[in-house]
A and B are shown apart, each in its own frame.
Chain A
Amino acid sequence: MNKIAKLFVTFISAITLALVSITSSFAKVEGEYIVLGSAISLTGKYSSNGVHTQNGYNMAVERINKMGGVEVQGKKYKFEIIYYDDESNPKRAAQLAERLIKQDGVHYMLGPYSSGLTKAIAPVTEKYKIPMVEANGASRSLFTKGYKYLFAVLSPANQYLEVAIDLAVEKNGGKGVKIAQAFEQDAFSQDVRLGILDAAKRTGSEIIIDDKLPKELNDMAATLAKVKAVKPDVLVVSGHTKGALTAIRQISEMKVDVPMLAMTHCDAAKLSKQHGKKSEFALCASQWHKNLSYKDKFFGSGKKYAKDFQKEFGYDPPYQSAESSAALLVFKDAFERANSFDRDAVRDALVDTEMQTFYGNIKFGPGGQNVAKPMILFQVRCKGDDCENRVVAPTKWASDKFYHPIPKWSERS
């Protein structure tokens, strides 16, 4: 046994030496680079949206660096991001945030993908007083915790589909509607649900189906069977990319007739491409659409952003990418206004942010959420086999009229 003990001691001391030798930490600003850190879901259930987020970040970093970078105290700096894969797991995300801050010496963070992971990271960044600009954590509870270093460029999750209920009520002649809803069991979708509950109460609507969907979302036939039986006026589904894909696949397979279908994440799921005509008339909540009329000097208009993004990554940018790019613009602006790398100075500059980007106006409320930008709704519309997302609300940007009710499957070609 004692030989083993010796072996063990040798092993431990080897590790100790190894650890000591790698404790040297990076600086927040290295040479001409401002180092940002981010834990991103490159694997796991959020991997597709994680990649959209990462592409958005990368595109903005490249563009800002190319166009002269960030000027602080007369010197030009470039952005650089350290990424880790959080495996779509909050536990891992919290650990990686700690690692980015303590070991890699990162002083400014970009958010992860999804509300759940942001909820796990926010306490860490808050503890170390690290400003974090996040673009993908929409859960309302993130903004009621009194976090001082959290800034979100997006609108809170409960606002996603409230407008859809208002639309349905309007189409129903101002009377309350019957709502069927199914939400994934995760922080974001449950928050969307809260928004619907509020809207239902406000409009006197009745919720007749209120289902929960599992996280590994591949089947919602049980909910749809109920929908077929009770015939609600609106069906609301939210479950990230997988939820949108599953819903359309099974609704078309089971030929479920419902006058209105409201969802989230249609553009991230590339619904109109993947399911074509089957996805027609789906109403989707979005933080951004390329047809909006916002502009900035880095990306130009939304349309130009979409074109450049398409060229770089080979697909139309979902709002997840656009909002992620916007996060970098916010950081650049804040650094330049702070004219310093002091974390608190940068944080104070972030508080005073008031700017327009191609993605929308950005101004942070007291909880850190973006209060200057409305949510939009678009509807999938097809011409022949070519389907597109067209903005239908709010009216300021609407390119098309909202089509209601959805024709029955028997009448659809």
Chain B
Amino acid sequence: MEKVKQKDLILYSGLIILGLAAPYLFSAFKVQLTYLCVLIVLAMTWNLQGGEMGYNTFGNILFYGLGMYLTASVQVGMFFPLAEWTESGGEKTFVHTTAQYFQGIGVGLLVSAIVPAVIAGAIGYAILGLRGHYFAICTLGLGIAAGEIAGGIEIIGAGQGFTTPPFPAEIVDTEARGKFFYFLSFALLVGTFIFVKYIYGSRFRLILNAIRDNEDKAEAMGIQTMKYKIVGWMCSAFFCGLAGGIMGGLIGYIDSTDVAFDGREMGVFMVLMAILGGKGTLWGPVIGATLFHFFKEGLWTLILGWQYVALGVLIVVIVVYFPEGLMGWLREKYPERFGEVIDEKDRKAQVELK
């Protein structure tokens, strides 16, 4: 036992060192690496619902978009009149000092973590009673509705979009912005991973699994399933909001349906990545997101104009050949490597019984 832990320690410290060194090693790829961190976070948090709890949500994009708008709004609103900033598509520009910029984004991120979590609680209370497809369809509507509503709210720029505060000009180093957002997203990734890993070792995960496997039975055993479902969703919303906040700052321009409540892309990607890697596993979403991101960045431009066809084919291949994802596939092939012991005698006995 002690030995395994030591190996884990080596693995984790290796990954962290790699993560910390990455922006220096691959300086040109900082933005893509930042995207990767955010994608992994989104896949991992989706996995909490879709994989562990068995509730396929398309609504997590709502929290991501909310986080984006909230961070930017707070960052501007703390120091300047927000309405004037966004009026006429952001014609007037106030300049943040370095201190204002970082204070703003700090407070903004805090708000963008808490508010989506609270909203997840409220919405969850209303709709987590739905099950199966009904829940999926309902959450699909959430993201779309949010996009349309945000496109009509003047104070956050409406259809004009919201230009987030530019990185302080006093910092002359052109690499600083990239590094700042990379480390921010990497910190979020590490935080999310630790949190999810903690959940994986807790009774909470078992309850979520019980809900997935048979919710009625779980309830009959005295588990207040509703409470756990809501808390689970709130946890996801917390991290999704943060991810959105970071992305908003990185992209620099928030559009209601194409950037913030981007259900068609991010909303689908997070599901796809989790399924690709293997839902219901700790590493599955991480591997899935990494593979997906490399596939996307590497091949996307080679097949200009056909990328969405390729994506469609990828989805079909995943669903048909790897319904349990890569981790599930590996687990089936090499169960002993996952620590599953197959009792040959028992297996034979069962075959004979049939």
Contacts and interface: CB of A to CB of B under 8 A. Distances in A.
A143 to B, nearest CB: 9
Contacts of B294: 15
Contact of B330 (A4, A123, A189): A4
A146 B308 CA distance: 37
Contact of A139 (B89, B174, B304): B89
B35 A4 contact: no
A123 B166 contact: yes
Contacts, number: 164
A191 B265 contact: no
Nearest to B265: A89
A124 B28 contact: no
Contacts of A4: 283, 327, 330, 337-338
A300 to B, nearest CB: 32
B341 interface: no
A23 interface: yes
Interface string A69-108: 0000000000000011101111100110011001100000
A141 B88 contact: yes
Nearest to B256: A185
A2 B11 CA distance: 9
Given A94-B251, A184-B159, A187-B160, A2 B8 contact: yes
Given A141-B88, A144-B93, A212-B159, A12 B151 contact: no
Contact of B89 (A7, A23, A141): A141
Contacts of A120: 251-253, 255, 259
Nearest to B88: A194
A9 B337 contact: no
A116 B174 contact: no
B257 A102 contact: no
B91 A186 contact: no
Contacts of B26: 19-20, 23
A84 B90 contact: no
Contacts of B330: 4, 7
B89 A19 contact: no
Interface residues of A, number: 59
Contact of A191 (B14, B160, B256, B334): B160
Interface in B48-104: 88-93
B202 interface: no
Interface string A132-160: 00000001110011100000000000000
B163 A90 contact: no
Contact of B159 (A85, A87, A128, A187): A187
A25 interface: yes
Contacts of B152: 185, 212
Nearest to A85: B304
Contacts of B4: 1-2
Interface string B139-165: 000000000100110000011110100
A119 B253 contact: yes
B8 A5 contact: yes
A194 B29 CA distance: 39
Interface string A1-24: 111110111011001100110010
A127 B11 contact: no
Contacts of B91: 140-141, 144
Contact of A43 (B174, B305, B339): B305
B25 A103 contact: no
25 contacts: A5-B11, A8-B11, A8-B283, A9-B11, A11-B290, A12-B18, A16-B25, A23-B29, A42-B304, A43-B307, A85-B301, A85-B304, A90-B253, A94-B252, A99-B32, A119-B163, A120-B259, A123-B253, A144-B92, A186-B161, A187-B89, A187-B161, A190-B89, A190-B159, A214-B148
Interface of A: 1-5, 7-9, 11-12, 15-16, 19-20, 23, 25, 42-43, 83-85, 87-91, 94-95, 98-99, 102-103, 116, 119-120, 123-124, 126-129, 139-141, 144-146, 183-187, 189-191, 194, 212, 214-215
Given A94-B253, A145-B163, A212-B159, 5 more contacts: A85-B301, A89-B262, A123-B252, A145-B93, A186-B161
